[in-house]
Structure 1
Amino acid sequence: MHNAFLLLSFGGPEGPDDVMPFLRNVTRGRGIPDERLAAVAEHYAHFGGVSPINGQNRALLAAVQADFAEEGLELPAYWGNRNWHPMLADALAQMRDDGVTHAFAFVTSAYGSYSACRQYLDDIATARMAVGAGAPAISKLRHFHDDPGFVLPHADGVRAAHAKLGSPADTRLVFTAHSIPLSMARNAGPEGGLYEAQLRETAALVAAEAGLAGAWDLVWQSRSGPPSVPWLEPDINDHLEALAKQGCASVVVSPIGFVSDHLEIGWDLDIEAAATAENLGMRYARAATPGTDPRFVKMITRLIRERMDPSAERRSTALGRLDHWDACPTQCCGAR
């Protein structure tokens, strides 16, 4: 078996002409008219039609390859996206042509839900069918929400953001993650509720590591879809208003739902939430995400070695108490 590494991510436009085709890919099959997509496209226009995510993935792939070389892990590395070039099917076709028969896939999402996990598994199956004979088998690496390689960089980001505000004792720590429909949240994981459970465990671990375990909240951002469909709440902007009414004057926002500072952070937190805080007279600092932090990069190498050695102790580095597993049950994480 000729193994390889696959970085699997969401994808994003890299120029103004990419934006609407990208958004149509993201929303395919949902019947969303271009008029509504155009409103979202304005967010990308603010950044010149370029999402940071592809550049961040290039940097991550280069860092992972350097770590492989340092650790003596001989794996060719590939990169494929769900919604924009380089597309996943193209990456699998290149693997096949290069003689790769199996790849370990690292998905840029730490959590379990339909959109954060199951949909990537579906994408892999669809891409393998498109490639046809000789398409490599893909093993998705497990969730990593409580791994120190993920938790510690987030905690450092919280500490740095707190210091920017002068470390006032009354600063509220607010964690954010991408909102999803309530029905999807209830169906996340073999027994339901996994997405929220993992996020709350991550939040508690990051807060404790940052020395701010006493007062934190988990709220949501980046909601989409019709108002008639209930999603996880409260939204970060609504929560900031509630905190202001309670007399809170200083807040650190940590996007623990994300591995890098892509557009949903750049727009939803650095622009919209920051403006909300300013209008409320609230001091605001946003914590950084792991990105290419060396601990995060080494975590990826460790997850691969763990998967290559079935006898490896899966909880040897885990900071939390929730279970880990390699293969998701077919009935978990439904879209609805």
Structure 2
Amino acid sequence: MHAILLLAHGTPDTLGEMKAYLDLVTSGRGVPDHVVEELQHRYAEIGLRDTPGEEPPPLTRWTLKQADLLRQKISYPVYVGMRNWKPMIAAAVEQMKADGITSARVICLAPQNSRTSIGLYKRDLMKALGEDPFMQVEFVEGWHDHPKLIEALSDRLLHTRVPADRVPHSSSEAKMSEKQAILFTAHSVPCSTIQGETPDPYAQEAKHTAALVAEKAGIPEWFFAFQSQGASRGPWLGPTVEDTLKALKEMGYEEVVLHVIGFVCDHVEILYDIDISFQQYAKEIGLKISRPESLNDHPLLIEALAELATR
């Protein structure tokens, strides 16, 4: 029997699970106590508590919702596995075995291909399957340019900004439109990730997604930055969002629409890094920033997943 397996990053259910969660994120290397405390603070700011809430945290909730919506569009069973928290990939594999699944198409809910996403998900899945796998698996290696993903991201963007071709009602509105910048972002990765004998396509694919969205939305000029740089493993990809916002301010922009093209749902890198940290920084330097709604349950995202699952 054939099935679809969606893979995602995972997120802790309570603040007390943060250290164990970060141990999984770093493949057992762990992080200093002050990093654990800082991330507990960030997660607390977006609503995570010491005891489980009435519903899962945003990333888990939206991923499970996306799986439910996908089930409604295709005829195959849909499973969810998280690399770093429950429901874990290994648990999903065990359930698939119990259900008699013999083949699966695997889709990572990270559109741009990277050794830090699809590569690690694939490694953990193959480990869970063991030396004598009971099912054949086919990985979708990346879908950064899927037309319906691009259309969904463009739709979100156009519902947030004043379209460039809208005729202004006054000279003041025209001036405001001229001083609005579009800044696309994707999660940064260590520079070491994209180096080596086999180049990692992540950075190029992230910028290609942005270019396709800008073209679809009719935006001739736009900017790009990498967000949420980590504090370990040497330098990370830039420029940072903070440096880019500062440069845009110096260029005369008064408003920035910050559009994330590397995530398909809300989680801490959006709800804290953008909605709290970047908002505070922008206010300090005299900029106004906004962001489109995350894709979450956008119908076009679910259509893209359905096409990836069945093509």
For the criterion TM > 0.5, the same-fold answer is yes
Gaps of 5+ in 1: 69-73, 307-336
Q: Which moved more, 1:115-124 or 1:161-170?
A: 161-170
- The equivalent residue for 1:284 is 289
Matched, 1:144 2:153: no
Give the structure 2 partner of residue 89 of structure 1.
90
AA at the equivalent of 2:204: A
Q: Which amino acid aligns with 2:41?
A: E
| 8 Å CA contact retained: 2:15, 2:40 | no
Residue 178 of structure 2 is matched in structure 1 by 169
Residue aligning to 2:262: 257
**Contact residue 19 and residue 44 of structure 1 kept, 8 A:** no
Separation in 1 of the partners of 2:229 and 2:177? Answer: 31
Amino acid at match of 1:218: F
Q: Report the equivalent of 2:37.
A: 38
Q: Percent identity?
A: 30
Alignment of 1:229 onto 2:230: no
Is the 1:249–1:282 Cα contact (8 Å) retained in structure 2?
yes
Q: 1-side partners of 2:111 and 2:133: how far apart?
A: 29
Corresponding residue SS for 1:297: helix
Contact 1:92 1:136 in 2 (8 A): no
Aligned runs of 1:262-281 on 2, under 5 Å? 262-281=267-286
User: Residue 107 of structure 1 corresponds to which residue in structure 2?
Assistant: 108
CA distance in 1 between partners of 2:40 and 2:3 (Å) = 35
Mapped pair 1:295 → 2:300: yes
Letter of the structure 2 residue corresponding to residue 205 of structure 1: L
Matches of residues 78-227 of structure 1 in structure 2 within 5 Å? 78-129=79-130, 135-163=134-162, 168-187=177-196, 192-212=199-219, 214-226=220-232
Looking at structure 2, the residues matched to 283 and 44 of structure 1 have their Cα atoms a distance apart, in angstroms, of 24
- The corresponding residue for 1:28 is 27
Q: Is the 8 A contact 1:15 1:48 kept in 2?
A: no
* Separation in 2, partners of 1:13, 1:62: 21
C-alpha distance in structure 1 between counterparts of 2:139 and 2:261, whole Å: 21
Q: Distance in 2 between matches of 1:33 and 1:98?
A: 41
Q: For 2:261 and 2:3, locate their aligned partners in 1 and report how far apart those are by CA, in whole Å.
A: 28
For residues 83 and 255 of structure 2, what CA distance do their matches in structure 1 show?
38
Q: 5+ residue gaps in structure 2?
A: 49-55, 165-172
Q: Over aligned residue pairs, what C-alpha RMSD do you find?
A: 2.1
Deviation, 1:19, is 2.7
Deviations 1:238-261 (A, max 9, x none): 211121122211111000011112
Given the two structures, how large is their TM-score scaled by the length of structure 2? 0.88
* Distance in 1 (alpha carbons) for counterparts of 2:148 and 2:163: 23
Q: Give the structure-1-normalised TM-score.
A: 0.82
User: Which residue pairs with 2:168 in the alignment?
Assistant: none
Q: Which runs of 4+ in 1 moved over 6 A?
A: 164-167
> CA contact under 8 A between 2:22 and 2:30: conserved in structure 1?
no
Q: CA deviation at 1:31?
A: 4.3
Partner amino acid for 2:181?
A: R
Q: CA deviation at 1:87?
A: 0.7
Name the CA shift for 1:103/1:243 in 2 (closer, same or farther; >3 Å).
same
Task: Give the deviation of 1:29 after TM superposition.
Answer: 2.9
Determine if contact 2:6/2:67 at 8 Å carries over to the other structure: yes
Q: Go from structure 1 to structure 2 and tell me whether the alpha carbon gap of 1:164 and 1:205 turns closer, same or farther (over 3 Å shift).
A: closer
Q: 1:18 to 1:135 in 2, by over 3 A?
A: farther
Q: For the Cα contact (< 8 Å) 1:175–1:218, is it kept in 2?
A: yes
> CA separation in 2, counterparts of 1:229 and 1:133?
38
SS of residue matched to 1:67? coil
C-alpha deviation, 1:17, in angstroms: 3.0
Inter-partner Cα distance in structure 1 for 2:285 and 2:163: 19
* Alignment-mate amino acid for residue 291 of structure 1: N
CA contact (8 A) 2:256 2:288 kept: yes
Query: Does the C-alpha gap of structure 1 residues 82 and 193 become closer, same or farther in structure 2, counting only changes over 3 Å?
Result: closer
Q: Distance in 1 between matches of 2:133 and 2:180?
A: 55
The alignment partner of 1:119 has SS state of helix
Query: For residue 178 of structure 1, what is the amino acid of its counterpart?
Result: H
State the partner residue of 1:12: 11
Distance 1:225 1:127 in 2: 30
